[in-house]
Structures are given as C-alpha cells and as structure tokens.
Amino acid sequence: MSLGPHVHPHLQTSFVAPPYSYPPTPPPEEVSLSQSAEFCHFAGPSGSAPRAIPEVNAQVRRATSVSTTGLATPPLTPDNGAEGGAGSLSALGAKQSAFLSTLFPRNGLRAAPYAKSVSISTPGTGFTFDGVVLSLPGKPKTFYVDGKCAATVNLRESIVALLDLADEQLGCNALVIALERSSAVLGDLLHSLMYVGGQVVTKPPFPTDPAFVLVGMEI
C-alpha cells in the first residue's frame, strides 16, 4: 500500500509512508490492545493494586484545542529506512530500531518486519517524538511513541495532536506512549496522560522492558 502526502487542515502536518510488504508468518497469538482488559489504572510507585478508570469520551478528549497554548503541531517525517528485509532491524532508522529493540528486547527482530519508523518534530523547539507504527497481523495498528521528551513539552496538547496524526494520517487504532519508570516526573506524566483518556497497558503484544511504563489510548 502506498500513501501520498497528506496535509491536515488544522495540524499542518505531512506524512509520506513508503510501500511495505509484510511477511506471511505472523507473531504468536497475543491479546489485542483494543480489549479493555489490557488497560488498568497506574497506582504509582507504592505498588498498590491497580484500579480501573472510566473511559473518556473521544469527542471530549479531542475538544482540547492545540491552538490554546500556541503549541506548534508537529509534522511527520518518516524515516527513509522504513523499508527493508524481513527480520532485520536495519529496516528501521537508527533511533527507531534502538527504540524498538529497547522496548521489546526479546522480540525486536521479530517485530521489525511489521514496523515503520516515524519521527514527529515540533518546529522551533528542537523536541522530537520518535516512534514506530506496528501493524501486526490480526492486531490493532498501533503507534508506539518514545516519551523521553514528554516532560519538556505541553504533554496534554501534544497528545491531542499525536492522536489526530495517528488516526488521520497513520491509520492507527491505538496510541501508546512509553515512559521511563525511573523518571522523577513519572507521576505527573501519568496524571496528564490519564486526563486525556490514557490507561496503563498491562498486556502488550510482546514482553516489554520493565524499565518502561506503557500508557495506551484507543482511537
């Protein structure tokens, strides 16, 4: 499938996705990210039992305006190495391949054939969200984003922009932000993400490095 340039009327973004051929062999059967049982409320460093949180209406979530804070909507820049041989992390750009293998240390090579690198930058700020789109057979198409710069941007407004991009330009069904568990502001980041409907992912498609907390949002 080949996608030409797309321009969002409000977000001023552009995205070019190169064609990609998926290999015939799917990964082992896993629980779908779209199932509500995969998400739970993060209870914080105390380790207490998670509590379910109510679903946030998508229209209410999207009602948050990016323009209210003057935050520049980030344009999408696909990595040129998104195409490549099956089973090789060389199919992705350097940053994205490192992110994929770090997030899924035991399944990075296995996930690579189904991954497409995406880089999202905020003009004038120097901040960039790097990530990968995973299109696993029989699973929701999910945009995984490295949240290392989440503390340096207006997170709530950025998430609204990311959700729109993931939905309208990447055709994804879910957005997942990977936060470092050791971050001193993890609690604040989780609070901001849950404010816009985020829930902690408890059953990702592959075993995740315990150094990360995955926060997902269905689109």
Listed by start position, the domains of the chain span 36-42+50-218
**Amino acid 93: pLDDT:** 60
Q: How far apart are CA 99 and CA 134, in angstroms?
A: 13
Would you say domain 36-42+50-218 falls under CATH 3.40.50.300? no
pLDDT per residue of the chain (219 residues) written in tens, 0 to 9: 444 444 444 444 444 444 444 455 454 444 444 444 444 444 444 444 444 434 444 443 443 333 333 334 444 444 444 444 434 444 456 666 677 888 999 988 888 888 888 887 766 666 777 889 999 998 999 999 988 877 777 777 788 888 888 898 899 999 999 999 998 888 988 888 888 889 999 999 999 999 999 999 998
**Amino acid 156: pLDDT:** 72
* Beta-strand pair 142-146/174-180: parallel
**Amino acid 65: pLDDT:** 34
Q: How far apart are CA 50 and CA 58, in angstroms?
A: 23
What is the pTM for the complete model shown? 0.60
**Amino acid 144: pLDDT:** 93
**Amino acid 214: pLDDT:** 94
**Amino acid 94: pLDDT:** 62
